[in-house]
Amino acid sequence: MTKKRKKKRTNYVNNARLREVLIDYNNMNIHDNGEWCDGYKRRLKNKFSNNKIAEDKFDISKNFILQKKEKICNLQKEYENMSTEEKKSFDKKLSSLKEELSVYVIDIIKGRINSFMLHSTLQNTDDIMDITQDAYISVFKYLNRYNSNIKTSAFAYITQLATNSIIFSLNQIKERERICVTGIDYIENINTIAEPSSAENLRKNSFEMEML
């Protein structure tokens, strides 16, 4: 009997290449002004004070922030001193890196969405699109926290960022649906209170208030 060949994955992400692109992107990201560093450092100290992270991890992260701030400052100065042509070349390379990185990020997000089986559990397809977009924005927001000095998998790092965003979005959807159901419940059972009011009038009044 002839064995069936497995279909080749079209969304395979090469971790070595992903790490290389991620490091290059972070090193060239002129749009990162480092404003997040101080807040990150405060939260880090907080965690250490509350014994939520070990001393060795605290020291590694603290040194990473110090080095990151210095790199950002040096990059900003270098960019300012570039000629117009040099800036064009720099921007083109950065754009190319982001484009490649975006492909990897989207593939990872799609993989997580499939793992959560959201296409079968969520009835509203718009929710899946929103979840994907929010995850993409969230991943790119926190990419600059990736510490290339330690042997952390770039794939695992981005996967965790995407997972955190998806879980947050799902919790928001659950809360939205809970509030919606509670609201309907209240309207349908409004006549059980001491001074009953027509549910139809209540809907009408709510609509009129929204139009004001």
What number of other Cβ atoms are within 10 A of residue 101's Cβ? 21
Per-residue pLDDT tens for 57-97? Answer: 999 999 999 999 999 999 999 999 999 999 999 999 999 99
> Of 89 and 120, which is predicted with more confidence?
89
DSSP helix, strand, coil percent of the chain (3-state; round to 5): 75, 0, 25
Mean pLDDT score of the chain? 85
Instruction: Report the amino acid identity of residue 71.
Output: K
Supply the pLDDT for residue 182. 56
What distance in Å separates the CA atoms of residue 187 and residue 172, rounded to the nearest whole number? 23
Per-residue pLDDT tens for 126-145? Answer: 999 999 999 999 999 999 99
What distance in Å separates the CA atoms of residue 76 and residue 122, rounded to the nearest whole number? 44
pTM metric for this prediction: 0.77
Average pLDDT (118-128) is 89
pLDDT band at 10 (very low <50, low <70, confident <90, very high): low
